[in-house]
Each structure stands twice: as C-alpha cells, then as structure tokens.
Amino acid sequence: MLADASVALQPFVDRLRRHSPLSDEEQAAIQRLPFSRLRLGASRELVRTGEKSAFCCFVAEGLVARYAEDRAGLRQITALQIPGDMPDLHSAILPGGLGGLITLSQATVFRVPHAAVLRLIEEFPALTLALWRDTLLDAAMLMSWVANVGRRSARQRIAHIFCEMSVRYAGGNGYLDAFEFPITQVQLGEAAGLTNVHVNRTLRTMRETGLVELRSGKVIILNRADLIQAGDFDPAYLTVD
C-alpha cells in the first residue's frame, strides 16, 4: 500500500465526475479503496486472455492495452488505456470477460481487489451507476473501434486513433497537438488491424503530407483540422452529452 494513498485515485475520481455527479462522501469512499502498487516494464501481461483475475487495474502511469487473441496467437488490440483509466473495471462484475491486458510501455498500475469494489457499490448505489456508466463509455469506444477497423482505410484508421488519443490525453479540454504516446508501429498495427509494414508506409505519407508525426513515442499533430477530416473523427462518443 502507498503512503499518499489518500489521493492516488484522484484521476479516476475526476474521470467519473466528468460524467456522473459524486458527493464528497462518495469521492472519499473511492479514495479509501485499498490497492497494491505495481511498477512494470513494457510488454508485461497484467491479465492473460480468459484468465479470471481478482483485481481491477487502475492505470496510474504509462500505456496499457486490452486485446483479444485468436488461436494462431494473432493479437487485436481492442482498447488503449491511459493514466486515469480502469481497463478492467468490468472484471469486478463479469470476471474473465474482457480478454487480456498488457503494458505497452513502462507503467505504474494500482490493483484494487474486486471484493473492495463490490463492497463500495453495495454501500453507495450512486457509485454503482457512476461505475456502470464508465463501463458503458468504454463500450461506446468499442463500437467506434469496430467501425474504425471495419470500414476505413489504413490512413483513416491511424488518423482516427491519433485523434482519439489526442482528445483523451487532453482529459476533457479539447485536443492536445503534442503528447507522449509510447506505442510501437507493430502495436499500432495490432490496434488498427494492419501489418507493421503497412503502418510504417502509411505513417510516412502522413508525415510527408504534413498531417501528423509519430517519433520516439511522441505524437505531433501538424495539421489538426486535416487529421480530424482524414480520420472522420467525431469525439461525441467519448463524452456524455
């Protein structure tokens, strides 16, 4: 457990408050959740596919991916999780239903026991709704992800992912035009449903046409309007109202 545990989950509280009103008491109850801290390198499995874990993971720092895997071992990333996210909040209610979880970069993760989450929502019905709503926002992002890999060209897919991350890293304040995004081209391919080779070529033309740049784990948006256009991006699904 952590010394400054009393505010460690603040980013999560902030996120919930962006879509659900929470009383001071409810916020304090979240802050009192017990957790253990994990510091991990890149490419560490947090949850294996199909495994039933006994914890929810809170991302405090770094980049984490949720993924599905077919029998051949081919990976499809279904969600990217950034600090403040709880990728497998689901698992408290539906253990084992979310696929695998892996760190893409060095990361700090807090593991909260399911039992503690269940106790919390038993005591505070309003928190149940807030957490439920949070998992539904996650589902909305999944639908957008389906549309992204199902209907769009390589350029559109990658543009869309960059747009989404730009908005999410901004934490509710529009877009960030430069941000840390420690993802490799292989992993970006696993997210977009493309091979790393084609990701590389596509990134090149995006760079050359002055759209966006990904270099050493950092995204620089060169032309935001064009990027949004190229990705057919509408941020509505990321927020309530």
Partner DNA sequence: CGGACTATTGATTTGCGTCAAAGATTGTGG
Partner DNA sequence: CCACAATCTTTGACGCAAATCAATAGTCCG
Residue identified by tokens 């950034």 is 82
- Least Cβ distance, residue 235 to a second copy (angstroms): 12
DSSP 44-69: -EEE-TT---SEEEEEEES-EEEEEE
Residue 20 Cβ vs a second copy, minimum distance, rounded to whole Å: 10
Sheet holding 55-61, edge to edge: 36-40, 107-113, 55-61
Residue 197 as a binder of DNA (CB under 7 A): the answer is yes
- Part in contact with a second copy (CB under 8 A); list of ranges 23-31, 149-157, 201-209, 215-223: 149-157
Q: Stretches 63-71, 107-115, 126-134, 147-155: which one binds DNA (CB under 7 A)?
A: 147-155
Tokens of 114: 């399911």
Closer residue to DNA, CB minimum distance, 111 or 207? 207
Can you give the C-alpha Rg of the chain in angstroms? 18
Answer whether 155's CB lies under 8 Å from 147's CB.
Answer: no
Residue from 30, 77, 102, 154 touching DNA (CB under 7 A): that is 154
Cα–Cα nearest to 16, from 111, 112, 136, 99: 136
Distances (CA, A) of 136 to 76, 139, 165, 182, 228: 21, 5, 18, 26, 24
Rule CB under 7 A: say whether 193 interacts with DNA: yes
Could you give the string, one character per residue 68-107, with x where binding to a second copy holds by CB under 8 A and - elsewhere?
x-xxx-x-x-x-----------x--xx-xxxx--------
Please state, in angstroms and rounded to a whole number, the distance separating the CA atoms of residues 93 and 173.
31
| Footprint on this chain of DNA (rule: CB under 7 A) | 41-43, 153-155, 184-186, 193-198, 200-204, 216
Residues in the site for a second copy, rule: CB under 8 A?
19, 50, 66, 68, 70-72, 74, 76, 78, 90, 93-94, 96-99, 122, 125, 128-129, 132-133, 135-140, 142-147, 149-152, 192-193, 232, 234, 236-237, 240-241
